[in-house]
Amino acid sequence: MSGTSLDGIDAVLVDLSRPQPRQLAKHYLPFDDALKNTLLALHVPSHNELHQAQIVGNQLARLYARSVASVLSGASITAIQVSAIGCHGQTIRHCPEHGYTLQIGNAALLAELTGISVINDFRSRDIAAGGQGAPLVPAFHDHVLRHPDIHRVIVNIGGISNLTNLPPRGTTSGFDCGPGNLLMDVWCMQHLGKSYDENGVWASTGKVLPALLERMLTEPFFKLPPPKSSGRDLFNMAWLHNRLQGDENAADVQATLLELTCRSIELAIQFHCPGAKEIYLCGGGAHNRTLRNRLSALLADCSILATDSLGIDGDYMEAIAFAWLAQQTLHGKPANLPQVTGAKHPCLLGAVYRSL
């Protein structure tokens, strides 16, 4: 899995032979600044972008192959023992309103380099059926994290934040809440030269700017009913700069961006997950102490823990989920939840590149 945060590749080796996934090995491979900048540039039209996307897709495939080799080595497992690789690829455009989404990574090359079958392009089939193509991970949450008596909400805070609503006697739902880390990360890089604000320390030195927060929360996306999904196509630096007056203190903007992430999650839970008792966090934002403390204050009636307490490594939740999605594809089982994505019907997801 390499996601909207553009920080790097999460690779995990998973045994899915039992109801609860068993993580055998994990590996994180960070992106260098040159690759990050190239991927960021591909989010907007530019000269010769089709050629550049294919070249970078090949580069990603080689990095994915290195990650695969690392997790296999870590578990003393050979490629022939692996059923398949579930590879999300790197999203550079997500435009379900125009009927497409684009994740690059050259799955054919990855299959060639590893000698393992690869499943990729998980989102396109759902979009073809009228869905958003996202979020897909709620189906995995429904499969492994649902409780028969307790109303749980799983909140993933990556580049974009999204949630899965798991009412014990109701239908699973899920959707993107809004920006997670991506605006905070870019603002931090621009002003501090750091890739992220560790534990929200910088944000904690600023104060929330109510007028700026109000301008941000007027974004129509926040009031859209689910199903809905988003990404850098909407929430980017141009979006932020259009809401700044230009004389704000940088730390205050960071504090307000953190508040935006927390408030958008809180509003989503209040409006769409009434009665929730337990909230479990995963993704990079789960490590942000300032963010966690603010969520706890906003959602005081709920317990807030990491998904690690349920036996699922929160840093590798999405990578594990795409291993499960790949298994569903191999077994010929639909893996989208139409009530989550808005698709007309359940779909068999992904394209399969078989190894020899």
pLDDT tens per residue across span 61-75: 999 999 999 999 999
pLDDT tops 90 at residue 233: yes
Whether 138 is covered by a domain: the verdict is no
Dump pLDDT digits (tens) for 340-354.
999 999 999 999 999
Write out the H or E segment, with its range, that includes residue 210.
helix 210-217
Q: Do 202 and 100 belong to one domain?
A: no
Write out the H or E segment, with its range, that includes residue 306.
strand 303-306
Dump pLDDT digits (tens) for 238-250.
999 999 999 999 9
Q: Per 3-state DSSP, what percentage of the chain is helix, strand, and coil (rounded to 5)?
A: 45, 20, 35
Whether 100 is covered by a domain: the verdict is yes
The residue among 299, 279, 349 whose CA lies nearest residue 127 is: 349
CB atoms within 10 A of CB 266: 17
Q: Into how many domains does the chain fold?
A: 2
Q: Do 153 and 253 belong to one domain?
A: yes
94/80 Cα distance (integer angstroms): 34
The residue among 261, 304, 307 whose CA lies nearest residue 283 is: 307
167/306 Cα distance (integer angstroms): 18
User: What percent of the chain clears pLDDT 90, i.e. is strictly above it?
Assistant: 99
Q: What is the mean pLDDT of residues 173-199?
A: 97
pLDDT value for 178: 97
Q: Do 224 and 290 belong to one domain?
A: yes
Contacts of 129 (CB under 8 A, 6+ apart): 336, 338, 343, 344, 345, 347
Q: Do 187 and 326 belong to one domain?
A: no
Q: What is the mean pLDDT of residues 192-208?
A: 97
SS3 state of residue 126: helix
Q: Do 109 and 220 belong to one domain?
A: no
Q: Do 231 and 306 belong to one domain?
A: yes
Q: Do 156 and 258 belong to one domain?
A: yes
Q: Do 124 and 26 belong to one domain?
A: yes
Q: Do 165 and 237 belong to one domain?
A: yes
Whether 250 is covered by a domain: the verdict is yes
Domain containing residue 257: CATH number: 3.30.420.40
173 phi, psi to nearest 5 deg: -135, 165
Whether 241 is covered by a domain: the verdict is yes
Q: Do 122 and 166 belong to one domain?
A: no
| Mean predicted lDDT score pLDDT of the chain | 97
Residue 223: strand pairing partners: none
For residue 65, give its domain range. Answer: 8-130+317-353
Contacts of 19 (CB under 8 A, 6+ apart): 144
Dump pLDDT digits (tens) for 316-346.
999 999 999 999 999 999 999 999 999 999 9
* Helix axis angle, 107-114 to 49-75, nearest 10°: 30
Residue 27: strand pairing partners: 11
55/61 Cα distance (integer angstroms): 10
Q: What is the pTM of this model?
A: 0.94
Whether 189 is covered by a domain: the verdict is yes
164/280 Cα distance (integer angstroms): 10
Tokens (6 digits) for 311: 């036996």
Dump pLDDT digits (tens) for 272-328.
999 999 999 999 999 999 999 999 999 999 999 999 999 999 999 999 999 999 999
261 near 285, Cβ under 8 Å?
yes
pLDDT value for 356: 79
Q: Report, in angstroms and rounded to the nearest whole number, the Rg of the chain calculated over CA atoms.
A: 19
Q: Do 334 and 250 belong to one domain?
A: no
Q: Do 204 and 126 belong to one domain?
A: no
Q: What is the mean pLDDT of residues 145-150?
A: 97
Write out the H or E segment, with its range, that includes residue 102.
strand 100-104
Whether 137 is covered by a domain: the verdict is no
User: How many residues in total does the chain contain?
Assistant: 356
Q: Is the dihedral of CA 129, 141, 181, 8 positive or negative?
A: negative
Whether 135 is covered by a domain: the verdict is no
Whether 328 is covered by a domain: the verdict is yes
57/115 Cα distance (integer angstroms): 18
